[in-house]
Amino acid sequence: MGSGNSVNANYKYSLQKSENAFKAAVLIQQWYRRYVARLEMRRRCTWRIFQSIEYACEQDQIKLHNFFSYLMDHFTPSSSKERDFISRMFISGESFKEAELEKYCDYESLEVPDSYTGPRLSFPLLPDHATALLEAFKQKQQLHARYVLNLLHETRKHLKQLPNISHVSTCYSEEVTVCGDLHGQLDDLFLIFYKNGLPSPSKSYVFNGDFVDRGKQSLEILIVLFTFLLIYPKEVHLNRGNHEDHMVNLRYGFAKEVMQKYKVHGKKILKMIQNVFCWLPLATLIDQKVLIIHGGISDTTDLDMLEKIQRNKFISVLRGKKRKESNRNVEIQELNGETKVEADPPGSETAPSLPLQPRPSQAPSMANKLEFSRWVRQTVQEQIDWCRRLVDISESEDEELTYSSVVSLTDLDKPCWTRQEECKQILDILWSDPMPQEGCRANTVRGGGCYFGPDVTEKILEKHNLQFLIRSHECKQEGYEFCHNRKVLTIFSASNYYEIGSNRGAYVKLGPDLVPHFVQYQANKTAHTLTMTQRQGFPVALVEESAFRALREKLFAHTSALISAFKAYDKDNTGRITLSNWATAVESVLHLGLPWRMLRPQLVRSTADGMLEYKSWLNDLAMEQRSQEHIQSSLLEVIYRNRSNLETIFRIIDRDHSGLISFEEFHQTWKLFSSHMNIELTDDGINDLVRSIDFNKDGNIDFNEFLEAFRLVKQSQ
Amino acid sequence: VAEVEKKIIEAFEVFDHEGSKTVDVREIGAIVRSLGCFPTEAELHELLSKVEEEEPTGYIHLEKFLPVMTTVLLDRSFRPIPEDVLLHAFEALDEKKCGYITKEELVRYLTEE
């Protein structure tokens, strides 16, 4: 049975072969899955880095409060010049009466030269104007300042008539499209219009805030949105976001963008925009069933209150009280025979009778969220209250007077809420974030608003008979995300927000059935040509590099603190510590809540036997910054660590938004800052600073250039 | 050992969206692998049975995961097989000996029982 044998042999052979194949397949699978898992881990770590740095930056606001309060406490102006200087930090801008505003931001006198080739607008606007604008912006043209101001005036007039909560109905225009944060990324807006169509009588849009800051075309986005708002007032709805706020704009780039694009009229434009932002509606309601707000809600959110407050009083929610601008109050005052006098800048004299600034204690690590939240809730509330009380001093009387006048002259059943309660309502709506745990606690990371849990959501939905909430405010990798049992939808429309390839943008469409349909996109040609890793939706290596660069800069900015922390683990002064101690030390200094052991291979190049020579590691980090060897290293650190706050302070001082401050003002700022930071900085030291970077422009200092000099250079491998 | 535990906790927390010390059971594979292990699917299932609750909820608690994973790392289970063996594996599947296998073939092999 020779053939039988060979059949047997064949059978055995093929069995062996398939067994081998199976083993081989399993092996390959093992390797492949490990590769994928590692990629996933890297992706998540990168995301965490970006997020924690982004939110930690928002904590800078708290530091700024500290600095201002420090000034109040410790600084006695020795000359009127100094007093003026200080007082300027506390008035971020005068509020204008209607007539003054018109006069100041007048556009009619602006001549448009014949040589101007950009779009020319006439009012009332027509759809052709919109298409002309879109086309012009695609060609990178700029709209003449006259038209910008005109547009802003008309927009403001229109917005003033709108209620705090816009109402949209799906029976008129079958579908409503809701878009989230755009943050100056005009390409994304173009993509949305391309995929979804322009706004029209049959195409309704709701834009949920954060149109500006961070991206480079914030102004263009505003122009486009406002244009469509005026052409299709029934179909286009805008919600205010936390970035529609002057104080935030000073820090995050919008103010800078406007001044760079409009050197002569930029200041007027910014002023107008301030007065447009405060008139933006706070929320939108679709079919009385879906509530759209930018940030979120809190357990004290009261829609009835929100409907009734005078939203325009709050030019910037972060600064607390602003001088009242509402027309009604002005009228009352005139009726009462008062002349509106510009009150003395509050805080210009350090008043010893003021309540002592509560000293914030050391912040616990961000990783322990509960403790951290308790600390910040205390600190932030104290600071805000204190700053408000300070600014309130000269105005508290005014307020009572006016309110009582209002009550007596108008409807008697109008409830009197305190300014603080109203401010909190708006703050919560614009700054809050959802959290998975139940309850409601202060949003410590951002410094404003709350973290709200599913129970808070449930209560609000039930109270007002709503189906779900739509909000934005947080970047999501897929452009959208549900939480709270699908009762809260986050929609984010700025793709590649952290870095090219970091995330998709998305918009959501709702029909009369109120079932959400999503469309995702990613605006960037290069993003499409990425390799296999892109199938994960996230080109890990590219984005990772960006994240780590930011992280390294942060590490550098804390060099001295890190050295102290390392030394604590290196009692024998060997210059080395274990990697484990390294991780603990770094977290204790930076408070970012990041998985340092996971990130270590990317941050620490080489280690011998599990020990790290920390001094040389820190030196390597320092090598990456531009050649500022002659600047004292501790000073350098301070600059890096506080760059964002320094920038904000400079911009506040630079009232005419020229990008320049006088040498004297620069000098003053440094003296104050260095004493607050406990750094020795002599006059010579400051002069050295100025000279070495050579940004002196006839006695004025271009602080943009100054700040640019302090950025880590891209590490070339 | 403390160091190993810290590493495990860090990796766990990266996948712990809610800060609740639990992760979705489907993420365990990624966590184990990113800690440097190369388990097969079968080995992973075995591990899962050790860390799951008596009545599987779809979530794994850190307190159950930590001891099991610590043992895995200290025992150096699931070590990778060296790269040349991996090469052999590819060669074994490459019937026609042409130096490559197509995507379809690979998918077929990997998804067959």
Between A28, A37, A38, which is nearest B89 by CB?
Answer: A28
Which residue does chain A place closest to B90, by CA atoms? A24
Pick A44's closest partner by Cβ from B14, B90, B92.
B14
Chain A CB contacts of B112 below 8 Å: 25
Confidence bin at A196 (pLDDT 50/70/90): very high
**Residue A399 host element (H or E):** helix A396-409
> With 60 as the cut, is the pLDDT of residue A262 above it?
yes
Q: What is the pLDDT of residues A239-260, one digit of tens each?
A: 999 999 887 888 888 988 998 8
Residue A623: band (very low, low, confident or very high) from pLDDT cuts 50, 70, 90:
confident
- Residue in the structure block whose two tokens are 């099991």: B68
pLDDT of residue A68: 66
A19 interfaces chain B, CB cutoff of 8 Å: no
- Residues 598 through 617 of chain A touching chain B, CB cutoff 8 Å: 598
Measured between alpha carbons, how far is A487 from A466 in angstroms, rounded to an integer? 10
Residue A330 sits at φ, ψ, to 5 deg, of: -60, -45
Residue A506's DSSP bridge partners are: A520
Q: Does A439 touch chain B (CB under 8 A)?
A: no
Confidence tier at A528 by pLDDT (50, 70, 90): very low
Q: Which residues of A touch B93 (CB under 8 A)?
A: 21, 24-25, 28
Whether A125 and A230 have beta carbons less than 8 Å apart is answered as: yes
Q: Which residue in A22, A34, A435, A603 has the most chain B C-beta atoms within 10 A of its own C-beta, making it the best mutation to test that interface?
A: A34
Mutation target among B95, B109, B112, B113 for the A interface, most CBs of A within 10 A:
B109
A369 contacts B80? CB cut-off 8 A: no
Q: Which of B6, B29, B81 sits opposite A27 (nearest CB)?
A: B81
Q: Which two tokens stand for residue A235?
A: 């179909």
- Label residue A335 by pLDDT band (50, 70, 90): very low
Other residues' Cβ atoms within 10 Å of the Cβ of residue A582: 25
Q: Look at A436 and B19 and tell me if their CB atoms are within 8 Å.
A: yes
Contact A24 B88 (CB under 8 A): yes
Q: Cβ of B37 under 8 Å from any chain A Cβ? A: yes
Provide the pLDDT for residue A489: 97
The residue type of A135 is E
With a cut of 50, say whether residue A371 has pLDDT above it: no
CA–CA min distance B55, chain A (Å): 23
Tell me what pLDDT residue A112 has: 84
Of A579, A621, A581, nearest to A600 by C-alpha is A579
Q: How far apart are CA A186 and CA A211, in angstroms?
A: 10
**What is the pTM assigned to this prediction?**
0.72
Check A237, A243, A484, A591 and give the catalytic one.
A243
From chain A, pick out residues whose CB is under 8 angstroms from the CB of B32.
Answer: 37
State whether B41 and A34 contact (CB < 8 Å).
no
Mean pLDDT of A632-638: 70
Average pLDDT value for chain A: 76
C-alpha to C-alpha distance for A452 and A455, rounded to whole angstroms: 8
State the best of A14, A28, A48 to mutate against chain B, taking most chain B CBs within 10 Å. A28
Active site residue A657: no
- pLDDT per position as a tens digit, A277-308: 999 999 999 999 999 999 999 999 999 989 98
HEC states along A154-192? HHHHHHHCCCCEEEECCCCCCCEEEECECCCCHHHHHHH
- What pLDDT, on a 0 to 100 scale, did the predictor assign at position A480? 95
Q: Are residues A700 and A660 in contact, defined by beta-carbon separation less than 8 angstroms?
A: yes
In this prediction, residue A694 carries a pLDDT of 58
Q: What is the ipTM of this complex?
A: 0.85
Q: What is the pLDDT of residue A696?
A: 59
Q: Is the pLDDT of residue A357 over 90?
A: no
pLDDT in tens, A421-477: 888 889 899 999 999 888 998 887 776 789 999 999 999 999 999 999 999 999 998
Minimum CA–CA partner of B29 in chain A: A37
- A409/B contact by beta carbon, under 8 A: no
Helix A60-74 to helix A2-58 angle (10° resolution) is 20
* A224 has pLDDT over 60: yes
b/e code B32-57 from CB counts within 10 Å (16+ = b): bbbbebbbeeebbeebbeebbeeeee
Q: Among A2-6, A267-271, A462-466, name the one with the lowest average pLDDT.
A: A2-6
Higher pLDDT, A627 or A54: A54
Q: How far is A609 from chain B (nearest CA, A)?
A: 15
Residue A55 has φ and ψ, to the nearest 5°, of: -75, -30
User: Is the minimum CB–CB distance between B109 and chain A shorter than 8 Å?
Assistant: yes
CB proximity A369 to B under 8 Å: yes
Nearest-by-Cβ selection for A37 from B6, B33, B40? B33
- Average pLDDT over every residue of A550-575: 87
Distance from C-alpha of A186 to C-alpha of A493, rounded to nearest angstrom:
11
pLDDT value of position A282? 95
- The reported pLDDT for the residue numbered A69 is 66
**Residue B46 — φ and ψ, nearest 5°?**
-65, -45
Interchain contact A37–B (C-beta under 8 A) = yes
Q: What is the pLDDT of residue A692?
A: 62
| B8 CB within 8 Å of a chain A CB | no
A472: three-class secondary structure by DSSP? coil
pLDDT at A81 (0 to 100): 63
Chain A residue at shortest CA distance from B27: A37
pLDDT at A391: 41
Q: Residue A73 — very low, low, confident or very high, per pLDDT cuts 50/70/90?
A: low
